Structures are given as C-alpha cells and as structure tokens.
A = this chain, B = another copy of it.
C-alpha cells in the first residue's frame, strides 16, 4: 500500500496515524501541495478529486478522502465500534469534521502557517465558525475522555488532526480545558509526542 500525502496536511496525518496505530505496512510518497503536485495529470489519474491523501493498494485500486480511507483501513479494528449506533456516532463526528471544523480551523491555520497571513487578516466569519467548532468539542468532551465511548476511535483521529494545531491558526485553546485534556489523551494513545 502506498500513501500519497503531505505531512503538513492534517488530513494526510490522519491516514498515517491510523496505519501506525494499527501497524499496517505502507510506503509514504511525498506530494508537495504547496507546489501543486496534487494537480498534475499523473496524480489526477490516481485521484480525480485532485486532493491528498490518496491511497494506492497493491492491486492498483485507489481510495481518496481522508475519513473514508481511515474508516476503510480501520474497519474491524478497535478504532471503529462494533455496535452499529456507536459506529454511526463516529460517522456523525467525521462528517461534522469535514463540514463544520476543517474548513475553518484548518483553513485559518493554512493561511497563517503557510501563506503568511497575520491572525488579524483571517476571515472573521471563518474565525467565528472555528471558535464555534471548538466550543462544540469542549461541550462534548466535558464528561468523557474521547468523542465516542470510552476509547479512542476514528472520530478522535479525524478531529484531533487539526485541533491539536489550532493555535497555529490563531485559535487560543487556553479557554478549552477539556479539549486540551482530550488532545493529551489522543497523543498518549497514538504516541504522537514520541
């Protein structure tokens, strides 16, 4: 299995972390998104969406969309609950992540860290929606160590990818103690600080 990705992208890290946690063998192929390497004809043949990550399996098939890849690779593992309703709650968080979290938290971070914007140059609407996403996480994590059930799941991998670097996008996490504890919980299980 080959993972085409860029380590600056939280979406790509989700796939890497899932493989590392589940001890799945893979070859990592660097795609420099800052140089538009995800837009070349060769890459577009692998992923018509023109986005990273994309995974190429040994039989020649490809799969894109970080959260779809994570769920496929983690199917049957401890990252995806066997109970159908809990599995649906994992999906609920993962769809929410792509619609209501990533477009604000990750985009602000991209603009500041890679495009050189200052915090006060960010789009105020994106900032407000990013704060709102962090508040939703803070409330959800007030009484539990992970987003779904008592163990780390694919939902945590999807959400922690950009939340743990939210401060690079100008979001102050000091007012979100439950979010910070949860980031620590995820880091411990995924061994991200080693």
Contacts and interface: CB of A to CB of B under 8 A. Distances in A.
A56 interface: no
A16 B85 CA distance: 19
A135 B79 CA distance: 35
B91 A65 contact: yes
Interface in A84-98: 84-85, 87-89, 91-92, 94-96, 98
A140 interface: yes
A103 interface: yes
Number of copies: 2
Given A72-B85, A85-B72, A95 B140 contact: no
Given A95-B67, A98-B95, A48 B140 contact: yes
A111 interface: no
Interface in A43-75: 48-49, 61, 63-69, 71-72, 75
Contacts of A136: 48-49
B48 A64 contact: no
A100 B63 contact: no
A71 B68 CA distance: 13
A68 B91 CA distance: 5
Contacts of A72: 84-85, 87-88, 91
